[in-house]
Amino acid sequence: MSSSPVLDTLQRPLRDLRISVTDRCNFRCTYCMPKEVFGRDYVFMSRAELLTFEEIARLARVFAGLGVEKIRLTGGEPLLRHDFEKLVGMLAAVDGVKDIAMTTNGSLLTPERARELKEAGLRRVTVSLDSLDDATFQAMNDAGFPVAKVLAAIDAAAAAGLTPVKVDAVVKRGVNDGDVVAMARHFRGSGHILRFIEYMDVGTTNGWRMDDVVPAKEILARLSAEWELEPVEPNYFGEVAERYRYKDGAGEVGIIASVTLPFCGACTRARISADGELYTCLFGTRGHDLRALLRGGRSDEEIGGFLRGVWGARTDRYSEIRSEDTVGLRKVEMSRIGG
């Protein structure tokens, strides 16, 4: 199989692969999987539709041949997938893959599970937590899940060496924006990296409005009113968070400003849904069916050639061209392709 890097039409290399392992989640975050849409009658992917671990590992090998070095496992809630640790182990054995991370809501991340994941080859974890206030957090996760258990999951990840642990908080105006400073205060000096995410117009079900977005500039102003901060250079090309260091040495904090400061120009990410659709943008409207290729007897070379063609033709830069007209497009749901 040809193994050379591939560039898209905007000269962006393919470096990162985000793999959603399930479209199911045990939370019903109002901005992601609102209960009114993802209720009892909602039809999730069937077992037969999901890519098997062997299929996922095979795709990872082909992607690695095209330059992918980092894999992030996500969902839905990835820890709901049966035997998830086994998949981590299979991906850790793929040549060329240097980093495997997971994004989780933390609900199932016990100390034992964290140790097993580390042993299987997981390197880092990002835990989502939108507020330290139970009433606010539970109103957002809409599953009655308490803050204390997520904090325990963060501790478990850190104790297992899945570090640095990143803590991601989506900020929605009038819902949890009053918690920004309290969250920063809590995580300052902890060794964990808190990142605030601008609420995005992913999918079509969350009723997104620009008025609900708290711009990065405003978040930074709130933090700067409390502490002296200075910008930190990105760790690598394509890093999504604007990073800031507390001048008093209490670590760093990040802001992911996908809406007000788009970073499409450095986007090196491909995404695969749990049923094997390839998306080249988080705001994509159309996927490419990789499962049909996997199950249709295609060779690794043929699949690699297909991926090379898709990436080579990639023009996506949704966040840079976002407008009132694009907000209503039939975009894929976050729970399908993962964050």
Binding site for ligand SAM (CB under 6 A): 25, 31-32, 74-75, 77, 103-105, 128, 168, 170, 197, 199-200, 202, 206, 334-335, 338-339
In three-state secondary structure terms, 219 is: helix
Interatomic CA distance for residues 14 and 5, integer angstroms:
7
CB of 241 to ligand SAM, least distance (A): 13
By three-state DSSP, how is residue 281 classified? Answer: coil
Q: Of 20 and 268, which CB lies nearer to ligand SAM in the complex structure?
A: 20
Distance CA 333, CA 42 (A): 13
Nearer to ligand SAM, 107 or 268 (CB): 107
Residue corresponding to tokens 């400073």: 181
Minimum distance from residue 239 beta carbon to ligand SAM (Å): 17
Of 210, 202, 215, nearest in space to 34 by CA: 202
Q: Kindly report the length of the chain.
A: 339
Q: How far is the CB of 339 from ligand SAM (least distance, A)?
A: 3
Q: Minimum CB separation from ligand SAM for residue 50, in Å?
A: 16
The CA–CA distances, whole Å, from 203 to 208, 280, 328 equal 9, 15, 9
Question: If residue 102 lies in a helix (H) or strand (E), which one and from where to where?
Answer: strand 99-104
168 vs 277, beta carbon nearer ligand SAM: 168
CA pair distance 331, 314, nearest whole angstrom: 17
CB of 85 to ligand SAM, least distance (A): 17
- The candidate with the shortest Cα–Cα distance to 77, out of 116, 38, 112, is 38
Q: How many angstroms separate the Cα of 24 from the Cα of each of 21, 32, 50, 208, 235?
A: 9, 12, 11, 22, 32
Nearest residue (beta carbon) to ligand SAM: 339
Nearest to ligand SAM of 17, 25 (CB atom): 25
Nearer to ligand SAM, 276 or 339 (CB): 339
Report in angstroms how near the CB of residue 194 gets to ligand SAM at its nearest.
12
> Closer to ligand SAM at the Cβ: 18 or 61?
18
